[in-house]
Structure 1
Amino acid sequence: MSKQATIKEIAKKLGVSISTVSRALHDHPSIGLRTKMRVQEVAKELNYEPNQAAIQFKMGKTFTLGVILPELTENFFSQAISGIEDVAFENNYNVLFGQSHDDVEKEKQIVATFIKNRIDGLLVSLSKSTRNIEHFQKLANFNIPVVFFDRVPKEEDCYTVSCDLFKSSVKIVDFLWEQGHRHIALLKGPQTLTATNERMRGFMEGLSRKRAKTDPSLFSSSDLTKESSWGAMKDILSQKNRPTAVIAFNDYVALDAMQYVKRHTDLVINKDICFVSYSNLPMRTYLDTPPLVSIEQFPYEQGRKATEMLMAILNGEELENRQIVLDGELIALTEE
């Protein structure tokens, strides 16, 4: 393996100073065109490649962003990744990904690893077990800005990009009400997630606008696992006022709950009981009995806008708004 050429070797071959070669390679105005061309020709001849580590050290940047997600395999987050990578590429940044697998301890380990690797900024969608963000707040000590997206903390001073789940939940209640449903269940997610509380608030507001009483017996929670969603669905169906509609935390939870109904009851989905949810996963269109509607939360746009916000912070720009909230769109599957 041949040794990589250095600026010193280029300077020696041309009989000029190292500083002259360095300025020529960086197109400095003090260096004449002829000299620049000669330096570039010799650099090409010797297969010279700039030492990125040295350049980054001099600039005080690594041009690397860190990203922490619950699961890379989830369609929602894979779409968000595309938005993140597109903006990073446009700004000549590399991206390092880490999966928390919804475990706050794993999340903390990834943060520590990213600090050691000298990332310039961090993008995060919180794990379901994250109860506080102290491990992210410590990044300020290393001048590493953090932008949260989708699963965001409740703290108002954070930089965040999310979907308005409160208004989206009101839209869902309006839809179900128009369909004639009066007994509506809410299959919630983990209480640690701000998104769970926003869904709940929107659900309560939607019913309040209809002057309808809420039935706490029709509230149940899932930790987002299949077993937990099955247990929550079993609890909901055991109530005296059996619901005709269920609002599930997301499409994955809805699919697990629907599977429970198919395997353990005689109820016919979308006839005796229907489901609505959030995320609008593409696979919905391939199901025989999909959720009637799902809220589009625009994961690509969330990832893109979060990365644009992070780049603005890194570039020292003043941000008028620390929190960007996108309007969710209610998507219904219509029969062809």
Structure 2
Amino acid sequence: MLRLKTDPMKRHQVTIIDIAKELNLSKSTVSRALTGHPSVNAVTRQAVLELAEKLDYQRNMLAISLITKKTNTIGIIVPEFYSSFFPNVIMGAQEVAGKAGYNTVICQCNESYETEVANTKVMLANQVDGILVSITKETRNFDHLKIFHRKGIPIVFFNRVCDEMDVPKVIVDDYDGAYRAVNYLLEKGRKRIAHLAGPSSLKISEKRLSGYKAALKRNNIELDEDLIISYDLSMDKVKIYVNHLLNLERPPDAIFAVNDPTAIEAIQVIKKRGLRVPEDIAVVGFSNDYASGLIEPSLTTVSQPVKEIGQTAAQLLIEQISRDVSDWKTIIRVLKTELIIRKSS
């Protein structure tokens, strides 16, 4: 068996040459066996793979990338891990990427624009072949993302997207989801429906607000601006805004929240005030976060096809990577939502 010289301060890195010498094969044969080339017979390939595993051989990805001009790695940048939404999107994306032979580098930004910029630099330093991005609530300048386009690195946005860049995007029908949620509350007899909206910098906030307004108009309910509060998605502010709504001379009889974490926090505040959900005030969220089915009462919400979002975004990215820059496609995939009715309404 191959005996590798060891240095107490430095472990020997097993190379293709080491394996070739041990098995009395050419370097090219070992290389082809490790990459699954069809020209290598099954017996030889198996011998190479078994020895490589035994010696803990690690492929030199840097050398391979210099030859192929690819790292077989894609980057994923998300704004937060507070809810289960983005982790589940990532799982969907990794499923597709893994089957296609791609590794993933994942960064989350804690809703910080500066961190997002820093994370894009990490992706560039890792020479990713493409990148999936959902922007933070603070992101209003996109120069750090446009760099990828200029360098010929494909980029696909999902959920929170950038309209300034003509690249593929994967979104859900936020307008329709919000419309159906509010329309449902109106059908249940609610007349004063408040909306805890997200920041106007995010398109999803604008579309959900538009759906809310459209449902009121369709049912001949006069819009009351006092019932609309846009905020920066900071959970510590939800308590302040919900208490403000409950202290109005004519408080709301329902709340439609921009997302599930906001809706869940609203339910907690309402219950602490001694009010009943849904008898005194109904609550509806958006996303179908994992916790929405566990809270008491369970949360009525607009469900998004979370895993499909990740799968679709990854598939679009891989398709772009395989094309020449001049043949990149600007595609917008709009996925459907579903209203999940639970006890909070």
| TM-score relative to the length of structure 1 | 0.87
Specify the alignment match of 1:185 in structure 2: 194
1:280 paired to 2:288: yes
Letter in 1 for 2:234: T
Q: Return the alpha-carbon distance in structure 1 between the equivalents of residues 37 and 293 of structure 2.
A: 57
Cα deviation, residue 70, structure 1 = 1.8
Q: Secondary structure at the match of 1:271?
A: coil
Stretch moving more, 212-221 or 156-165: 156-165
Cα deviation, residue 284, structure 1 = 2.3
Specify the alignment match of 2:305 in structure 1: 298
The answer to whether the 8 Å contact 2:33/2:48 transfers is no
Specify the alignment match of 1:133 in structure 2: 142
The answer to whether the 8 Å contact 2:33/2:44 transfers is no
Equivalent in 69, 91, 113 of residue 100 of structure 2:
91
Specify the alignment match of 1:316 in structure 2: 323
Q: Return the alpha-carbon distance in structure 1 between the equivalents of residues 196 and 286 of structure 2.
A: 12
Specify the alignment match of 1:247 in structure 2: 256
Equivalent in 171, 180, 194 of residue 171 of structure 1:
180
Cα deviation, residue 240, structure 1 = 3.1
Q: Return the alpha-carbon distance in structure 2 between the equivalents of residues 114 and 126 of structure 1.
A: 15
Q: Return the alpha-carbon distance in structure 1 between the equivalents of residues 34 and 107 of structure 2.
A: 36
Cα deviation, residue 249, structure 1 = 1.0
TM-aligned CA distance change 1:12 to 1:280, over 3 Å? closer
Letter in 1 for 2:290: P
Matched-pair identity in %: 33
Cα deviation, residue 38, structure 1 = 6.2
Cα deviation, residue 289, structure 1 = 1.9
Letter in 2 for 1:163: V
Cα deviation, residue 50, structure 1 = 4.6
Specify the alignment match of 2:216 in structure 1: 207
Letter in 2 for 1:200: L
Q: Return the alpha-carbon distance in structure 1 between the equivalents of residues 148 and 339 of structure 2.
A: 37
Give the 5 Å matches for 1:34-113.
Answer: 41=47, 50-113=59-122
Q: After superposition, what is the alpha-carbon deviation per residue over 1:235-291, rounded to whole angstroms, capped at 9, x for unaligned?
A: 22233332111101111101112222222x342221111101101123222222233
Equivalent in 221, 238, 256 of residue 247 of structure 2:
238
Give the aligned length: 330
Q: After superposition, what is the alpha-carbon deviation per residue over 1:298-319, rounded to whole angstroms, capped at 9, x for unaligned?
A: 2111111111110110111867
Cα deviation, residue 179, structure 1 = 0.1
The answer to whether the 8 Å contact 2:19/2:51 transfers is no
Specify the alignment match of 1:161 in structure 2: 170
Q: After superposition, what is the alpha-carbon deviation per residue over 1:33-82, rounded to whole angstroms, capped at 9, x for unaligned?
A: 6xx96687578658566533322221101111111112235211121121
TM-aligned CA distance change 1:117 to 1:42, over 3 Å? closer
The answer to whether the 8 Å contact 1:218/1:239 transfers is no
Q: Secondary structure at the match of 1:300?
A: helix
Stretch moving more, 232-241 or 85-94: 232-241
Unmatched segments (≥5 aa) in structure 2: 1-5
Calculate the aligned-residue CA RMSD, in Å: 2.8
Q: Return the alpha-carbon distance in structure 2 between the equivalents of residues 86 and 324 of structure 1.
A: 19
The answer to whether the 8 Å contact 2:167/2:330 transfers is no
Letter in 1 for 2:73: T
Specify the alignment match of 2:271 in structure 1: 262
Cα deviation, residue 218, structure 1 = 0.6
TM-aligned CA distance change 1:7 to 1:78, over 3 Å? closer
Letter in 2 for 1:232: Y
Cα deviation, residue 19, structure 1 = 5.5
Letter in 1 for 2:267: M
The answer to whether the 8 Å contact 2:92/2:310 transfers is yes
Q: Secondary structure at the match of 1:277?
A: strand
Cα deviation, residue 209, structure 1 = 1.4
| TM-score relative to the length of structure 2 | 0.85
The answer to whether the 8 Å contact 2:166/2:330 transfers is no
Q: After superposition, what is the alpha-carbon deviation per residue over 1:176-200, rounded to whole angstroms, capped at 9, x for unaligned?
A: 1110111111111122111110011
